[in-house]
Each structure stands twice: as structure tokens, then as C-alpha cells.
Structure 1
Amino acid sequence: MRRPLAFGTRAGLAGLAAAAITLAGCSIPEPGSNGSSGGDGGSGTATGEQTRTVTRTEPAPELPPEPKPAGVVDACPYLPTTDAERANGQGVSEVRTSTEQPHPTCFFYRPDGEVQLVTQVFTGAPDVATGIVNRAAPIDTSNPTEQPAGWSGGYLSGDEGAVYAVSKQGNAVVVTTNQAQSVKARTVATDVIATLGL
């Protein structure tokens, strides 16, 4: 049978003092330590190891600069002037192209000298093609599209005009028009893709 500690007696107090001295001689390891002191040669094992997850993101691709019109040409190499007039609903007075190769950007002008239609074609790295489309029709503000089949991108339309931009693997086609209906830009983009066999 266990006897209760006699806290009120000298023997009880002496026992408590001895127990306190014994406990004072023990060291309690800090949380996360290996439980051994620096010089005792202990072989404690590490506990509470921490791991860290590092997320690496690919840098954004370097996009080519926005195309600029250069010299006047007789026609766009992949979009006949009559097709541009029919699709955009305006007469074309002049056509200029950029210096990019193999497919220059074509600028179609209306009789008053203002640009009415621009067709940009890119072939190269897939991430650059996607970046060109996102620059023209940002994901956060444009309407998504998957036309023609196998292509994806976005379109925007407003009082000042419309843009239709799609990519497929390493190809991108961006069409801007001064017309408010995005269907006009989509029609031109579809024609360009079919003509070039992209």
C-alpha cells in the first residue's frame, strides 16, 4: 500500500528537498534539439526537421516589338486586297508591310489615309506565339475563342474597333480592324490561316 507523503513532517520536507536537488541536476532539452549537450559525446538524433518548398516560374518570353509599316507594296502576300475589302467592308487605297520575315505584317489603309485593317502572322517558338496573342487580347479582359478548330486565343470589340488573336503551337495570327464587329477580324484571321496552311 502506498503511503501518503507527510508534507507536514521533517521527514517529508527532507524527501522533497532531495527530490528537488535530483531534478535540478537533470537538463531538459530545448524543443527541436537533439537532446545531447555539446561535450558529452551523446549520439542523439535530430528531430523536428523542417522542409521548404521552392516554386520556380519560367521567365516570360521575350516578345518581338509591335510591327510597324514600312514601304508601300502592290498587295499583301497572303491576303488579297479584294478579300480585305470584302471582309472589312471598306475600300483599300494603299497597302504597306512590315519588314518581318517570312510573313510580314500587312497594313491596309482606307481612302482618307487611316489604317483600317492590320494582319500579323508569327511563326516560331510556341511560348512567343502565345505571348503575342496574350499581348493583343489579354486573358483577363478578352473573350475566349477556339476558332478555327485547333486554335485558341481571344477577341475584343468596341466602338474604336476589334481585335481577334489566336495561336496554335508556334503560330500566331492577330487581326485588328477599325470596325466594331469582331466577326470581321475573325473572318480575316480564318482566311489568312487557310491561305498560309498554318
Structure 2
Amino acid sequence: MFAISLGADGAELRPLEPWQAEEFLAHIDRGREFIGRHNGLPDVVHDLASSRAYLQAYADKAAADTGRICGIHLDGELVGAVILRTMDVAHGTAEAGCWLEPAAAGKGLVTRAARTLIDWAVEHRGIHRVDWWVSSANAPSIAVARRLGMTRDGVLRESHLYRGQRHDEEIWSVLAPEWRAAKSAAASAG
């Protein structure tokens, strides 16, 4: 298995696969309440079979080139993930997402991991537009979208029914030319 370094703190991005279902379930259990505030994943992954099924669905997406899941590891422990929930190479579009355990929050892990995954999608898979759909109440995820250089395209008012309540959803995006320009500017400044 391979890992991509996310910085000097030892954080790494690694693919997640069905054989890691037990580790994935333990990760979800550690962050179940925190992750579930804005993300329905804890409602889907509740035992070993559902954990394996979730990871298998992403293995199938990877095989079909329609999505990806990568785990964020800190000191060797799975603490979060970034995903390309959807990816349509022919149309050049993808939707990225993320989650993190509470103990790993505030370290910039999601931003670094999402930047790595989005860069791969743009530079290696030819994705032109990456979307980031987020509840208007999820300030940390909105902050990640901003740090990634995304633009808020709009708000879908009360469009998302989650746990019996309607929520506004914001759509943020970055286009490949914007991504490359920001990357070039950062390289010139660094």
C-alpha cells in the first residue's frame, strides 16, 4: 500500500479498501456523534458488514473511475477521510467531501488531504470542476472550501432533509484554471 505525506506532523493520505473495514468501523465509532452532526455516514456504517459494504462501494467506484476514498492517518491511526463522492471524467466534474474525528480537528488535515485529492483529480484525471456541497451550518467545512480557493456558487434553501430537519446546502466549486493559477501563485510565493 502507498501513502502520501501531508506534512511534517506525520499525517498521511492512504487509499481505503474493503479489507480495512474493521479499522474504518472503529474510526467511525470514535467520531460517530461528531461526524454525524453534518454527515450521514454514521447512519450508514454501523457494523462490520456495513463498513465493508461502504468501502466496497468505493472500491467499485475506483475500479469504474467514478469516485475515490482516501483515509487521513495521523501517527498511523485513521482519523478521517476525503472522498470524490462522484467523478465523471467524460464531463470533467467531481464532487469532493470529507469528515474527521473530533480529536484530529483543527490541525489542517482535511484541507491538506482535500488539496492532495483535488490536485490529483485536476492534474491526473482531467477534472475541470470540483464541487463541495456543505450544510450552511457546517462552518468548519465552509472554511475548508475557502482555504481550497473555492467560490460559493449558491445556496439551496432547505433542500436537504437530514435526520428529520431541513437544512440549507451551499455549493462551492473550483475550476481547473483557478486551481492551477492558485497553485502557481503559491509556488511563486514559496
Q: TM-score, normalised by structure 1?
A: 0.28
Which structure carries more strand by proportion? Answer: 2
Larger Rg: 1
Q: TM-score, normalised by structure 2?
A: 0.29
